[in-house]
Every structure is written in structure tokens, then in C-alpha cells.
Structure 1
Amino acid sequence: MAANEKTQTWRNNSDCCSWDGITCDSKTGNVVELNLWGSSLEGPLRSSSGLFKLQYLQSLNLSSNNLAGVLPDSIGNLKYLKVLRLSECSLFGKLPSSLGNLSDLTLLELDGNSFIGELPDSIGNLNQLTKLLIASSKLSGKFHHALLNLTELTAINLVSNQLEGTLPSNMSSLSKLEYFNIGSNSFSGFVPSSLFMIPSLIHLNLERNRFNGLLDIGNISSPSKLQTLSLGGNKISGPIPGFISKLVELSSLDLSFWDTLRGAVDFSMFSHLKSLASLDISTLNTRSIVDMSLFSDFESLNLLSLSRNTVKFGSTLNLLSPIGSLAIASCNISEFPKFLQTQTSLFYLDISQNQIKGRVPEWLWSLPGLEYVDFSQNSFTGFDGPAGVFQKNEIYMLDISSNAFQDPFPLLPKSMTFLAASDNRFSGEIPKTICELDSLETLVLSNNNFSGSIPRCFEKFNTKLTVLHLQNNSLSGNFPEESVSVGLISLDVGQNRLSGELPKSLINCTGLEFLNVEENMFNDTFPFWLRSLPGLQFLVLRSNEFHGEIYSPEGSLSFPKLRIFDISKNLFTGVLPSDYFAGWSEMSSGVFIADNKQKRFIGISFSNYLKSVVLANKGLQMKLLGTSFSMYKSIDVSGNRFQGEIPESIGLLKEMIVLNMSNNAFMGSIPPSLSNLTNLQSLDLSRNRLSGRIPPELGKLTFLAWMNFSYNMLEGPIPQGTQIQSQDSSSFLQNPGLCGAPLQKTCSGGEEDAITQYEEDEEEDQVLSWIAAAIAYVPGVFCGFVIVHILTSYRHDWFKRIFHYFS
């Protein structure tokens, strides 16, 4: 049925009991069920809605509609309700306490919304509730003790929320519980042994939390019904209890990231679990060796993950079970596993991060179902067989990065969606055959020796190609407009020999988040048009021949989500106005924006492409890789020709970690507003024309581990403070007027006596000048915010003086 066909059958002149989605009681004619699942409903549920006047309603299903808004208290009017389904409805806000009025409720399903706060205390009134399903929301707080009173519960699903704290010790009071899933939260402490005392429990998922310490299952007399046990991704440590071998009904077991503290593991305990279909014992931190022959007699094992353990297998190994997914990454394997020849059901293979040399055997591609293959971080040199050896397969993902593969580049199947071949020895032009991969979404060819121009065919992928990384090759010529797929999210062509202008067609990539063109020969003005890209988080133009001003009076340069801004070592000029950084809200707040788009398959991470840029941090060149990007917020405008004063609005970027404005011609005083950057770790203002004194407030920046003020025209005493005084004297050299430690030049008595008065006068001047700047440059409500922020940043007596100033 189409999404909106139900309500299309509704007519004012007909009996509503005949309408699709409505069920009435045959005796009373009262509406008892309303099912409008996936009916394209739009708009919030209002408390005055006629829906809440259906007092005899027993079942309500509005799932998969766009009901953006809060769940109104009026929901409590439906006192006969037994089933309430509102999953995937874009609901938000707190859950209303009136839910507790629904004393007949047996099923509460609210998955996939954005509810916040804790479960209401009134949840304890739902004595008939059998299923509580509020997965993938934003609930916070602890596990509500009121749930322990709901003894009819058979299922609790609170996976992927923001819950924390410990679990109650008396979980066994939920004596009818069959399904318990609180994975992907922040629960901590010990796993209560009472969970394993629940005789009805079938599914137990505690993965990806912060549970720690030893696992005590306790003494269980009756046979366990557990079929699923997921404890992976926690901080559980110590020996793996042998009692697990008695959980003979288990079909899925995840003990990944269990820390045995380099202790021994008796892997034979798993040989008793003959019903296993899925086993993940990766990353156990054990000195014991996993012998693959242990799994020879398993008949149902389909998913097996042993990564980051030491694994051995004999030449005659034969597995009876039809393995579909095998992960043996980082297992100290030095030869290609031959037992795979008989695994005709294999569709996922991860043998990355081993020491396998030589060529990939031709027989691997005879496995008919193989779709996802990860060979990365080995020492492979090529593929056995003809050039098109695996064109007959429908391979979707292939990662051969970080090996020693060399020409010729393999012919690829047209089904390919993910190709990573970085860090190899490929040369010559990028093969035109790549243009024939109609479904390609991710292409990573970085760190090879490809030459020639960028192929003009990538535009043909339209919205499909989202990742294009060609970093550190020998590509030359202009960047063709035709090489831009409008679906790009991440583009990296850094460290090549590209020239000319940036392709203006990038303006069509509305989802672009990462743009790196560092270390090329681009000769262009600043790409102001990039401000139209709402999601841009990383902009790196360093070491090119970009020139001209980076400020346009025609419109503010607002990058609301920018986390890294590196335009260093170019030819940029001009003066930056005082409000230049006023619209850079991501660096002004602590909001985290995920940037690591990891491809996952049935719970196992597939090797992800790595973003990579070089940043100047603490005076050194630092290469930023992968997940490190989530930690950094930095600005580097060094090595240009900027003049004028450092914008006061720099002080708004309180989440910034690295600031480098060195090697320019900035003049005037160092803005005291820098003291607002409480997360700043590295500050470089060297080789400019800055004058006046170093603001003493900078001494209060407790994370500021490295700073450089050398080669300026600064004067007066170097401020006292642990961070400043811990710097090497080279950080203050070639400022003839500076004195005091750590320099050898001592200050005269007059200068030392005057420093306190100077700080007070300087503070007053900066407060008033910044308020004036805010009034002049920052419009509307934001102006008010800036002023309030400044006022509250200074001492109480100054608040009174400024208030008097404005009155």
C-alpha cells in the first residue's frame, strides 16, 4: 500500500469504521484501533487534537510519520490504551508524566525519536506493560528503578541512548524478562550477576558501554535459555568465566575487547557451544593462541571474528560450518589461509594488518558469494591470474591499501562501490576503466605515484561518488570542472602538482564536509563561494599560490560548522575586520560533529578511508589522521601578508585548540579576548609587527602548553603565570622592549610597579572597545549575546561600571 493510500479512502459522508486503518468494536461502534503507520502525516500532535477524544481507543500506531514536536500530555487521556506505537515520528522533548495514566498499556514503542531527559517517575504505574521499546533516542539519566516494579515486562530495549550509571543489583526481580538490550549507552560499574539469574532471559545485549571489572555470573542451578549474549566493547577485565561453556543454547556470543590482562584463555570452553552462529572474541589481550581447528566441528557458525588475537591454522584445516563472514585482522598471519578454498558461502573477508607476502591467489575469486574483501596493511605485491581475474564476481568493497601492489592496475567489476588502493606502488595515469564503475561511491588512491591529469569522468557518477581521495601523487594540470561529482562529501587532492583555479562546480556539492588541496600550485583568489556550503567542516588550502583578500564587504564570511581552517603559506593580503570570526559557531561551542563516516557490516568495521592533513602545532608539523579530526579545532593563517590588527572576535572561538597567525604583518596589540580560548593548547603570533604588552590574562589559560611571541615589537614585563613562565626564552626573542623571566633582561622597578595599574587600564579599554565593535559589526540578537558574554567574563565591579556607562 502506498504511503498515503489509507487516508485517501476517508470520506466525510461514510462510516469511519469502514475506513482503512480504523477498527471499531462490533458491538458498541467505538473506535478501538487506529493504524496510520507510514501515512505521510505531517505536523505536530496538538493537545487539542480530536485524536485524544477517542477515549475507547486500545491500539494507536502512528509510526513512520513526520510528527515533529513534543508528545503532548493529552496522550494520558487515552486511558484504555493497550498498544502505543510512535516510532520514527521525529518527536522530541521530554516524555510526559501523563504516560503513567495508561494503566492498561502492554506495549510502549517509541524507537527512533529524539526524546531527552529521564524516564518519568510515572512509568512505574504501568503495571501491565510487557514491552518497553525506546531505542535510538537521546534519553539520559540512570536506569530507572521504577522499571524493577514492572514485573510483567518481557522486553526492554533502550539501545543507543545516553543513559549512564550502574545497573541495580536486583535485576532478577524482572522474572519474566526475555529480551534486554541497553547497548551503546554509557552504563558503567560491574555487570550484576542477578541478570543471569533471570530464568526466562533469551537475549542480553550490554555491548558498547563502560562496564568494567570482573564478570561474576554467579551460581545458576537451572539451565540457561540465553541465545544471545553481547558484552563486547566494554572495559570488562580478568578471566573469562568458564561458566559460559554451559550456555549451550547460545547462537550469538560477543566478548570482544575483553581485557584478560595478558592472562590465559581456555578457548576449549567455546567447543561446547555447538549452536553458535555468530562468535566475536576479537581483541582479548591474551597470550593464548586461538587454534582454528577448534571450530572444525561447528555446523552453524556463520560469523566469526578473531581479530587482534594470535591465530594459527594447519594446512589441512577444514571447517564444516558455512562461514559467511570471517575477520582475522591483526592475527600475526604470514601466509594466505588456504582453508578458505572450501568456504563457498564466504561473502565478507577481513585479513588486514597481517604479514602476508606475495600475490593474492586466483582461487579466491572462485568463491561465488564473495562481496567484501579487506587486504589492507599486508605486503601483497599483485594478483595471480589474468588482469580481469575478479571481474566475474560482484565485489562491492575492496580495500588493498598499504601493501606493495604495483602495475598493472587490476580490472575491477562494475559492481564496485568502495575501492581503497592507497599507499601502494601504482604509477602512470589513473586507469580510465575506473570510469566504468557505475556504482562507485568511495575512491581512495592516495600515496601512490599516479601522474597525468585527473580523469574528466567523475561527474558521470553524479550523486553516487561521495569520497574522492587522490592525495600525494604526481597529478598535474588543472582540476577539471567535469571531475566533480555533486554528491561529494570528502575531496582530497593535496600534495600533487595541480594548478589553475579551484573548480567552481564544487559549489554544487551541497553535502561537502572535507576539502583539502594543500601543497599544489593552485593560483586563485579566495573561494568566497564556499560559504554557500552549509556543512563544510574542514577547509585546507595551505601551500599554494592563492592570493588577494579573504574578506568580502559584500557579505560576511560565515562558516558555521568549520573545525579546521588552514590557508597558511599562500599570498593572501588585506585587513581582517574586528567581527571576522563572529559567525563561526562550531568553534564557539562544544557541539561535536561526527566526521568519521565508518562503513560497517554486520557489526564488523570495514577499513575506512583516512582523511589526512598536515597541521602546524606547537611549532612542529603534525599529520592529522582519521579519528583525530574529531578532537581538533584549529585556525592557521600563517605565512601570508595580512595586515592590520588581529580581530577581537577571535575571542569568540572558545573551543579552538590551535591558533597560528605567525609570519604576517599583523600590528597593534594582542587582543585580551584571546583569554576566552580556554581550550587553546598552541598559540603562535611570531614574526609580525605586534606592539604593546602581552596580556596578563593569557597566563590563566591552563591548557596553553606552547606559545611563541618572538620577532615582534612587544614591550614591558612578561606576565607571571605557570604556562607563560614555563616557555623557553626563544618564545620571546627579538622583542627589544620585553623584559623579565624567562628572558635574561630584567625589568626596572618602575615597570614592575606599574604593571598592575596597566592591567586594569588595559582591561577597561578592551572591554569598551570590544563592546563598541560588537555594536558596530554584530547585528541583532547576536550583538546582545556578545555583550552579555563579555560582561560576564569580567569582574563584578566592572559590570557595575559598564552598566553605569550605558545608562
Structure 2
Amino acid sequence: MFSLPSLSRLVLSNNHFSGQFEDFNSNSLIWIDLSNNQLQGHLPKSIQNHVNLTGLILSFNNFSGHVDVSFLADIKQLYYLDLSYNRISLTNENKHNVTLPGSLMSLQLAACEVKELEFLRSAKLLWQLDLSNNKIQGRIPDWAWTNWMFLLQRLNLSHNMLESVDSIPLLFIEAIDLRSNLLQGSLPIPPISTRFFFISHNNLTEEIPSDICNLTSLVMLDLARNNLKGAIPQCLGNISSLEVLDMHHNSLSGTLPTTSRIGSALKSFNFHGNKLEGKIPQSLTNCKQLDVLDLGDNHLNDTFPVWLGTLPKLKVLSLRSNKLHGSIGTLTTENMFPQLRILDLSSNAFTKSLPTSLFQHLKAMRTVDQTMNAPSDEGNRYYQDSVALVTKGLELEVVRILFLYTTVDLSNNKFEGYIPSIMGDLIALRVLNLSHNGLQGHIPSSLGSLSSVEALDLSGNHLVGEIPARFASLTSLEVLNLSYNHLEGCIPQGPQFYTFENNSYEGNDRLRGFPLSKGCGNDGNDSETNDTTSGLDDEENDSEFLNDFWKSAFMGYGSGLCIGLSIIYFMFSTGNLRWLARIIVELEHKIMMGRKKKQQRQRSYRRRNNSLT
């Protein structure tokens, strides 16, 4: 195929081709696209002989070895080059005399071990440059800014080791990505043409200049995880094109912008982990496109913003760790929080009963989305929403959560009263945390309908009664915490319950059953009279249990041997012996308790006979 005399364009991208890419002799080729395959080895030397080549796209393969700039220097018509995400190391042995072709317009060398920019001195026509995930240090030289000033539209220098960017003198730039460098000092303000500006995960300090509001075409502004201080410019609320405003984990103080206009395009509003005070601005109701609102870990002092329920697309609402207080009510509107999938109100001072009327409105939590398709959005290639959540006892920053995660966290508040049975209708929940409140009454059996729940925490309340038997059917449950309540009775038994440790139940002195030391039924701690009266029945039950066990073992030997060996093979091959170990421990526990009760009955019988004689 590579020898076809008239072959001009070769496009085999997004396949599963593997092996080495060998030399080829088709001199008519002007465009080669083999991206997103599994090709490996060194780049074929014959590429440098194709002087008419205009496009070479080999990204997302396993090509390896050193590629010197001189390898491509003589392809004078090359305007599109993409070698990103291979195992290539770009070198430049002759730094001052050899550069890439001046015809280049789009150059993408992400993750190519690039250390300096000298090889770009002749590339003055670039409109797109991606040098992300490399080892570029220090600062961008002045000659580079001069070369790029009039044509460059997309610049990605993220995940390098740049230490300083004082200004960005690019007249027609649209997208600038400087994330995850070592930048210090004040925030550089890009040109007014900028639509996408990402400079998170650096060490920028000082205040945010009000000049940022001159960027009236901004679509995404990501300043997260720096050390920015001072107040948030209120004028940011006037940028109607702004879709993403992310400044989480800085040291910003003062109040939130209160100037969001009607018709605002805002989709994501993230100020988690700052020092903001005051109230949650009601002007956010003008943001009808809002998907994510994360104001957690601040000092906001307000009541529950029930008016946010009118936002038709809100999927994530995190107000955790603030000074919010009062009861949680709802408006009389029929359709409240229709798309909400993450609700985190933990570590505040909310009081009174859990908001039954709120749970009645959470439509998105009442159905399980089997498709789990990611939302299609042009902005996803630049930015991914993330929210800090406590899940399964760990604080994590969950990325791409809008369509994958469903959680309700109302822990560490001052809620009272009963757990509403209607919470069992929220069948899409993966995490439910009501811990450390003042809840009382029984655990509603309806929670056994939460078939998708992976973590359930009801610890630190005043709950009474038994653990609902329906909990045994929660096959997705990985973390269960019922500790420090007033529960009693037998712990349900089932595949998931064999995996839980004692700490899931501690602080409930009247609970019995595996894995606790107290067995279910008579465990030898009752009075002698009850032991004597029911002794015969208990002994018969124990005997029947052991007889049935050995009968089943011998009678099922023939047919059960194959099944048993299959199960054991599966457990050993997967390394998951925990379930089997717990069954053995439980069986041993039952046998030991049976022996203990039998010995106590025998002693009681002897004492009674001695008293009669």
C-alpha cells in the first residue's frame, strides 16, 4: 500500500494497528495520519525523504527513541505536525543552526521530552502550539512572544516547569493553558481576545486585578489552586458569555459576586476552599444554565438557599463546611431541583427535621441512568468539572461527576426527628450520609431499596430498634457505618455483611451476630432459669445444625465437589478469599457458642440435681 505511486493521503487513525511502522517509498504522499493506534518502534527514516509532506499526525501511539529536529527540518512544506503522547524524546543537537520548518502552522508535541524552545525560532506562522507535559523551565523568551504575537490563537504550555509569565502579548489569542507550572507573582492578564484562560495549579499570589473584567469574550476562567488573595472583582458577574468561573482553593475573602445578569451563560461556579463571607447571592437565579455550584469550605453565613431549586439544570450543589443554619424548607413550586444528583450540606448548623418535602422533588435521584453517557460539550476538551466530596470515609476530588455520581450528605448538622421513609425512593444514590446528627426512631426498612448505594453512614445518632433485614439485599454496599446509636437485635446476614468489621457496629451494646462476639439467640449470657427451661430445645437445635451440616457435606459430595472446586478456583484466581474466610469464622463462632451453652446447661443440670439430693 505504501508503494502505490499515486497515493497522496493516508488516513488510518483510530484503529488497532500494532507493530512497527516500516519505511515506505510512495513519493506522492502529502498527508499521513496514523494517530490513535498501537504502533511502536522508531519513526521510519524514509519520512524525511517526503519533501512534499504537508501533514504528519502520529499522536497517541507507542513510537519511541530520540527524534532530532534535523529529522524534519528539510520538509519545507510541512504545516501540520503532531507527535504527541508517544515515548519520543525530541532533541536538538545543533541548537543554533537547525529549526523546524518555517511553514508550520499547527505544532503539537505534548509529552515529547521538550526542554527548550530554540528549535521554534523559524516557526513564525504558528496559529496552534501544544507543548504541554514537557520539561520547559524558566520563562518564555522574548523572541518567542514576538514570533507568536500576530497569528497564534491556541497556546498550551501546561504541565511544565515555567516560573514566570509577566505578560501575554498575543493580539489574537483565544485559548491559553498555563496550568500546573511553577508560576509565581501576580496574575498575568491576557489580551481581550481571550476566550479560554487556564492558569490553575500554580503559586500565584496577590489580588486579582480588576482588568480581568475587560475580557468580555471570556467563556472559561480557571484560577483554581493558587494563593490568590483579596476580594473577587464584582464586575466578573457582568461577563454574560462566561460559562466556567473556577477559583477553588485560594485565599480569597470578602463576598461573592452579586451581579449575575439575566441570560447569563454560567454553567459552573466553583469557589470551594476560600475565606468568603456573607450570603449566597440570589442573582444566581439568573443563571438558568448552571450545572455546578460549589461554595463549600468557606465562612458563608446564611439559611438554605431554597430559591436555587428553580434552576432547571443544576446537578451539583455543595455548601458543606460553612455557617449555614435554620431549617430546610422548599418552595411551593412543583418542579424543584429536577436534575440535582449531588447534594452536600454537611458540617453546617441546620436544625429541625430532615427535609421530607425536598426529597420528594429530587427526580434525578429516583431513576438509575443505565446509559451513563458523558455529556457532549465542546468545552469538555478544555475543562472538566470537579467537586470535593467525602465518600467512603475519604475526602476526594471527584472529576467528571455530573453524570456518574449521586450522593446526599447531610452529616454533622443538628437535624432531629425521624429518617423519612421516602428516602428509600432515591434509588440512584451511591452515597448516603446522615451521620452525627440528632436523628431518632427506627431505621426505615425502605432504605433497603437503595440498590445502587455503595456507602451508607447513619453513625452518631439516637437510632433504635433492629437493623432492617432488607439491608442484606444491598449487594453494592461497600461501606456501612451504624456505630454509636442504640440499635439492638441480630445483624442481618448476607454476602456484603460478611465483609464488614466490628467498627461498623461499635457503640450499640445490644446488637448481636457476626462479626460481634455476641451470637444471635441464647448466647450464654441469659439467666440460668432460661438456660434450663430451653436447654433441651437448644441442644436439639445445635445437634440438628451439626447433623444437617455433615449430612449435606456427605450427601452433596458427588455433585457438589465440582461446584465447590469451581468456587474455590474462582476465589483463588481472583484473590478474593475474604468472603470465604468470614463464612468459616462465622461457622466456627456458631460451633463455639453451641459448646459454651451446652457446658453451661450441664453445670446447671448438676447443680439442680445436687440440690435435690
Contact 1:579–1:647 (Cα < 8 Å) also in 2: no
Contact 1:428–1:449 (Cα < 8 Å) also in 2: yes
Once the two structures are superposed, the pairs formed by residues 234-273 of structure 1 within 5 Å of their partners are 234=15, 236=16, 238-242=18-22, 245=24, 249-260=28-39, 263-271=40-48, 273=50
Secondary structure of the 1:690 match is strand
Distance 1:435-1:580 versus aligned 2 partners, 3 A rule: closer
1:229 aligns with 2:11: yes
1:318 aligns with 2:94: no
The residue number in structure 1 matching 2:59 is 282
**Partners of 1:287 and 1:593 in 2: CA distance:** 34
Counterpart among 684, 701, 704 of residue 457 in structure 2: 684
The residue number in structure 2 matching 1:585 is 363
Q: CA deviation at 1:230?
A: 3.7
The residue number in structure 2 matching 1:374 is 156
**Partners of 1:748 and 1:697 in 2: CA distance:** 20
CA offset digits 1:200-224 (Å, max 9, x no partner): xxxxxxxxxxxxxxxxxxx799656
Q: TM-score, normalised by structure 2?
A: 0.78
**Partners of 1:630 and 1:362 in 2: CA distance:** 44
The residue number in structure 1 matching 2:398 is 624
**Partners of 1:484 and 1:472 in 2: CA distance:** 25
Paired letter, 2:368: S
**Partners of 1:567 and 1:666 in 2: CA distance:** 16
Contact 2:21–2:41 (Cα < 8 Å) also in 1: no
Q: CA deviation at 1:616?
A: 1.3
Distance 1:246-1:580 versus aligned 2 partners, 3 A rule: farther
Where do 5+ consecutive residues of structure 2 fail to align? 527-536, 538-613
Secondary structure of the 2:497 match is helix
Distance 1:708-1:393 versus aligned 2 partners, 3 A rule: same
Where do 5+ consecutive residues of structure 1 fail to align? 1-218, 754-807
Counterpart among 330, 335, 360 of residue 140 in structure 2: 360
Q: CA deviation at 1:301?
A: 2.2
Once the two structures are superposed, the pairs formed by residues 572-611 of structure 1 within 5 Å of their partners are 572-576=350-354, 578=356, 580-587=358-365, 588-590=367-369, 592=372, 594=374, 597-599=377-379, 605=381, 608-611=382-385
The residue number in structure 2 matching 1:545 is 323
The residue number in structure 2 matching 1:391 is 169
Distance 1:351-1:484 versus aligned 2 partners, 3 A rule: farther
Q: CA deviation at 1:238?
A: 2.8
Q: CA deviation at 1:507?
A: 0.4
Once the two structures are superposed, the pairs formed by residues 514-525 of structure 1 within 5 Å of their partners are 514-525=292-303
**Partners of 2:134 and 2:480 in 1: CA distance:** 42
The residue number in structure 2 matching 1:208 is none
1:707 aligns with 2:486: no
Paired letter, 1:676: S
Counterpart among 76, 96, 112 of residue 331 in structure 1: 112
Contact 1:541–1:566 (Cα < 8 Å) also in 2: yes
The residue number in structure 1 matching 2:250 is 473
Paired letter, 2:479: W
The residue number in structure 2 matching 1:351 is 131
Q: CA deviation at 1:710?
A: 0.6
Q: CA deviation at 1:274?
A: 4.5
- Which 10-residue stretch deviates more, 372-381 or 574-583? 574-583
Distance 1:614-1:459 versus aligned 2 partners, 3 A rule: closer
Paired letter, 2:456: L
Q: CA deviation at 1:295?
A: 2.0
The residue number in structure 2 matching 1:296 is 73
1:497 aligns with 2:285: no
Contact 2:354–2:417 (Cα < 8 Å) also in 1: yes
Contact 1:651–1:673 (Cα < 8 Å) also in 2: yes
Contact 1:575–1:644 (Cα < 8 Å) also in 2: yes
**Partners of 1:746 and 1:307 in 2: CA distance:** 62
- Which 10-residue stretch deviates more, 250-259 or 393-402? 250-259
Q: CA deviation at 1:455?
A: 0.6
CA offset digits 1:12-33 (Å, max 9, x no partner): xxxxxxxxxxxxxxxxxxxxxx
The residue number in structure 2 matching 1:777 is none
1:747 aligns with 2:528: no
**Partners of 1:693 and 1:438 in 2: CA distance:** 60
Paired letter, 1:567: L
**Partners of 1:246 and 1:676 in 2: CA distance:** 66
The residue number in structure 1 matching 2:429 is 656
**Partners of 1:380 and 1:693 in 2: CA distance:** 60
Contact 2:234–2:259 (Cα < 8 Å) also in 1: yes
CA offset digits 1:529-550 (Å, max 9, x no partner): 1111111111110100111222
Distance 1:482-1:555 versus aligned 2 partners, 3 A rule: closer
Secondary structure of the 2:504 match is helix
Contact 1:580–1:649 (Cα < 8 Å) also in 2: no
Contact 1:684–1:708 (Cα < 8 Å) also in 2: yes
| Structure ranking higher on relative contact order (CA contacts 8 Å, 6+ apart) | 2
**Partners of 1:410 and 1:431 in 2: CA distance:** 9
Paired letter, 1:663: H
Paired letter, 1:551: G
1:717 aligns with 2:490: yes
The residue number in structure 2 matching 1:801 is none
The residue number in structure 2 matching 1:665 is 438
**Partners of 1:283 and 1:377 in 2: CA distance:** 18
**Partners of 1:508 and 1:661 in 2: CA distance:** 32
Q: CA deviation at 1:730?
A: 0.3
Q: CA deviation at 1:228?
A: 4.5
1:535 aligns with 2:313: yes
Paired letter, 2:519: T
Secondary structure of the 2:228 match is strand
Distance 1:614-1:583 versus aligned 2 partners, 3 A rule: same
Paired letter, 1:740: G
Distance 1:690-1:269 versus aligned 2 partners, 3 A rule: farther
Secondary structure of the 2:352 match is strand
Distance 1:476-1:221 versus aligned 2 partners, 3 A rule: closer
CA offset digits 1:148-180 (Å, max 9, x no partner): xxxxxxxxxxxxxxxxxxxxxxxxxxxxxxxxx
Contact 2:102–2:125 (Cα < 8 Å) also in 1: no
**Partners of 1:652 and 1:247 in 2: CA distance:** 65
Percent identity of paired positions between Structure 1 and Structure 2: 36
Contact 2:260–2:284 (Cα < 8 Å) also in 1: no
**Partners of 2:271 and 2:310 in 1: CA distance:** 21
**Partners of 1:719 and 1:501 in 2: CA distance:** 45
CA offset digits 1:269-318 (Å, max 9, x no partner): 53455544332212223443344433222233222111122232311332
Q: CA deviation at 1:249?
A: 4.7
Distance 1:502-1:579 versus aligned 2 partners, 3 A rule: closer
Contact 1:528–1:557 (Cα < 8 Å) also in 2: no
**Partners of 1:448 and 1:563 in 2: CA distance:** 29
Paired letter, 1:611: D
- Which 10-residue stretch deviates more, 690-699 or 357-366? 690-699
Contact 1:655–1:677 (Cα < 8 Å) also in 2: yes
Secondary structure of the 2:277 match is strand
Q: CA deviation at 1:576?
A: 3.1
Once the two structures are superposed, the pairs formed by residues 406-425 of structure 1 within 5 Å of their partners are 406-425=184-203
**Partners of 2:499 and 2:151 in 1: CA distance:** 62
Secondary structure of the 1:452 match is strand
Aligned length: 517
**Partners of 2:451 and 2:63 in 1: CA distance:** 41
Distance 1:276-1:652 versus aligned 2 partners, 3 A rule: farther
Paired letter, 1:631: L
**Partners of 1:726 and 1:742 in 2: CA distance:** 9
Contact 2:102–2:124 (Cα < 8 Å) also in 1: no
**Partners of 1:293 and 1:647 in 2: CA distance:** 71
Q: CA deviation at 1:456?
A: 1.5
**Partners of 1:358 and 1:504 in 2: CA distance:** 44
